[in-house]
């Protein structure tokens, strides 16, 4: 089967009835680009930049960041590279920042909240990202957005940084796309409003499921409740895709669900445009998509979101969507 998958390198990621999607990769470091290329990823849908900041004693400089982003953009030769701004806090600590101890770290001072407070850190990263955008197809993505105010503030800071670079005659891509993660229920619910202010959405199902069901994604004792087939998650995903499309923007997904063989058909049915996953999952996802009919999956997706339990969703998919491997 591995050999048959290898034959899919260079093939299109489209359904039997000609619906084409993008299969891209989640990466954490420039080294991971090897795997993206080996598995014929069509770009990067999520570059988790926090790893640049971890396992060291101080913040990475603008130049260090610039080099890392530039390397990824160049090696992908014009393919899209979605770079997420710093998403630290929650379960990811940076000892040298001396972040406060919190009762609920996942609900606390993290990601965009920290960046909007520590604009020195945020601006340095944005400068590096913009400078690197002159060397490839970089898109900027903000994590953990929960309100329009936060999005507007982040965009305003980005504009300030652009202005700074212009005045220094530093080149960057003036048309750079700016998107946001949809990983907080408030953002999913308000996605019709957000869609008017960004170029794309990427749904982060890992956190969206955690916050929608109030189930800590890392707590083993309640992991039986952390179920990606939960119809509440699927309904939110459908709503976000529809709202994005109504406003004319593309909608991707970079949480674990995007690479889940059982849920890919449902996402195809919902019209998801971009699937971002671990590089090793890409060719299998292409195989699945090549064997589906978008029209049939549309009906399946409609049925699935009307089922009452995660168990029934999973069973329905297993019984009704058969893919030969
Ligand atoms: C997510 O929340 O789904 C996501 C992709 O981000 P992370 O897993 O880095 O929180
Ligand atoms: Mg997340």
pLDDT digits (tens, 9 = 90+) for 178-220: 999 999 999 999 999 999 999 999 999 999 999 999 999 999 9
Indicate which residue's Cα is closest to atom 7 of ligand 1. Answer: 206
The size of the chain, in residues, is: 325
pLDDT at 79: 98
39-48, 61-70, 90-99, 229-238: which has the minimum mean pLDDT?
A: 90-99
Locus of tokens 């990824």: 72
pLDDT above 90 for 89: no
**40 ligand 1 Cβ < 6 A:** no
Give the pLDDT confidence score for residue 100 in this predicted structure.
Answer: 86
The stretch 136-141 carries a mean pLDDT of 98
Residue 1 in this model has a pLDDT that exceeds 90: no
| Residues 272, 274, 278, 284, CA torsion sign | positive
Given a contact cutoff of 8 angstroms between Cβ atoms, the answer to whether 132 and 69 are in contact is yes
What is residue 325's predicted lDDT score, i.e. its pLDDT?
Answer: 79
Atom of ligand 1 nearest to the CA of 46: 5
Q: Is the pLDDT of residue 92 over 90?
A: no
Nearest Cα to Cα of residue 323 among 255, 268, 251:
268
CA separation for the pair 284, 290 (Å, rounded): 10
Nearest CA to ligand 1 atom 6: 204
Ligand 1 nearest atom to the CA of residue 183, by list position: 2
Res 2: pLDDT: 84
How far does the centroid of ligand 1 lie from the alpha carbon of residue 26, in Å? 10
* 102-115: burial string, b at 16+ Cβ within 10 Å, e else: eeebbeebbbbbbb
Which amino acids are annotated catalytic? 254
Residue 21 above 90 pLDDT? yes
Out of 181, 272, 275, mutate this one to test ligand 1's pocket (max ligand atoms within 8 Å of CB): namely 181
- Taking CA atoms only, the protein residue closest to ligand 1 atom 1 is 204
| Structure confidence at residue 90 as a pLDDT band (50, 70, 90) | confident
- Mean pLDDT value of segment 55-70: 97
pLDDT value, residue 93: 87
CA of 27 to the centre of ligand 1 (A): 12
**Residue 119 in contact with ligand 1 by CB distance below 6 A:** no
Residues 6+ apart with CB under 8 A from 279: 25, 26, 27, 32, 35, 36, 38, 39, 41
Q: Looking at per-residue confidence, does 90 or 106 come out higher?
A: 106
Pairing of strands 178-182, 137-142: parallel
- Ligand 1 contact, 48 CB (< 6 A): yes
Residue 205 in contact with ligand 1 by CB distance below 6 A: yes
Question: To test the ligand 1 pocket, which listed residue (143, 226, 281) has its Cβ within 8 A of the most ligand atoms?
Answer: 143
- Would residue 144 be called left, alpha or beta, if left means φ above 0 and alpha means ψ between -120 and 50 degrees? left
Q: Between vectors from CA 288 to CA 268 and to CA 5, what angle results, nearest 5°?
A: 145
**d(C-alpha 9, C-alpha 57), whole Å:** 41
**Nearest-angstrom CA–CA distance, 264 and 237:** 12
Q: What pLDDT score does 171 carry?
A: 98
Q: Is the pLDDT of residue 168 over 90?
A: yes
* Mean pLDDT, rounded, for 36-49: 98
- Any ligand 1 atom below 6 A from CB of 204: yes
Q: How far apart are CA 184 and CA 310, in angstroms?
A: 20
What's the pTM value of the predicted model, to 2 decimals?
Answer: 0.98
Residue 193 DSSP SS3 = helix
Sign of the alpha-carbon torsion through 203, 206, 207, 212 = positive
- In short, whether 114's Cβ falls inside 6 Å of ligand 1 is no
Does pLDDT of 17 surpass 90? Answer: yes
Q: Inform me whether the pLDDT recorded for 222 exceeds 90.
A: yes
Rounded Cα distance between 52 and 58, Å, is 11
Residue 91 has pLDDT above 90, yes or no: no
Report residue 10 as tokens: 């260079």
Which tokens is 122 given? Answer: 């945020």
Q: Given pLDDT bands bounded at 50, 70 and 90, which one contains residue 83?
A: very high
C-alpha span between 82 and 44 (Å, rounded)? 6
Q: What is the mean pLDDT of the chain?
A: 97
- Return the percentage of the chain with pLDDT > 70, whole number: 100
In the prediction, which pLDDT does 56 show?
Answer: 94
Q: For the segment 228-270, what is each residue's pLDDT rounded down to a tens digit?
A: 999 999 999 999 999 999 999 999 999 999 999 999 999 999 9
* Burial profile 223-234: b = 16 or more Cβ within 10 angstroms, e = fewer: eeebbbbbbebb
**pLDDT on residue 299:** 98
Q: How far is the CA of 205 from the centre of ligand 1 (A)?
A: 7
3-class state of residue 300 by DSSP: helix
**Cα separation of 290 and 271, whole Å?**
15
């Amino acid at each position: 089967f591995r050999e048959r998958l290898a034959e899919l390198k260079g093939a299109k990621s489209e359904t039997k009835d000609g619906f084409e999607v993008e299969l891209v990769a989640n990466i954490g470091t420039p080294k991971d680009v090897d795997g993206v290329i080996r598995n014929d990823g069509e770009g990067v849908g999520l570059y988790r930049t926090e790893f640049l900041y971890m396992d060291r004693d101080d913040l990475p400089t603008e130049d260090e960041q610039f080099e890392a982003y530039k390397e990824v953009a160049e090696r992908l030769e014009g393919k899209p590279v979605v770079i997420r701004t710093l998403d630290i806090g929650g379960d990811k600590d940076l000892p040298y920042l001396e972040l406060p101890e919190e009762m609920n770290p996942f609900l606390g001072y993290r990601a965009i909240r920290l960046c909007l407070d520590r604009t020195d850190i945020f601006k340095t990263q944005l400068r590096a990202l913009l400078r690197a955008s002159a060397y490839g197809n970089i898109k900027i993505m903000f994590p953990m957005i929960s309100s329009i105010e936060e999005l507007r503030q982040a965009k305003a800071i980005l504009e300030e940084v652009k202005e700074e670079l212009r005045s220094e005659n530093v080149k960057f891509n003036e048309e750079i796309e700016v998107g946001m993660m949809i990983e907080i229920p408030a953002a999913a619910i308000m996605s019709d409003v957000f869609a008017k202010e960004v170029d794309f959405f990427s749904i982060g199902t890992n956190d969206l499921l955690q916050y929608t069901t109030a189930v800590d994604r890392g707590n083993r004792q309640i992991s039986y409740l952390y179920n990606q087939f939960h119809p509440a998650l699927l309904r939110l995903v459908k709503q976000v895709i529809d709202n994005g499309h109504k406003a004319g923007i593309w909608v991707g997904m970079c949480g674990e669900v995007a690479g889940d063989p059982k849920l890919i058909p449902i996402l195809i049915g919902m019209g998801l445009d971009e699937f971002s996953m671990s590089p090793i999952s890409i060719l299998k996802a292409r195989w699945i998509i090549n064997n589906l009919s978008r029209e049939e999956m549309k009906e399946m997706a409609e049925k699935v979101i009307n089922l009452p339990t995660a168990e029934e969703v999973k069973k329905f998919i297993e019984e009704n969507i058969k893919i030969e491997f």
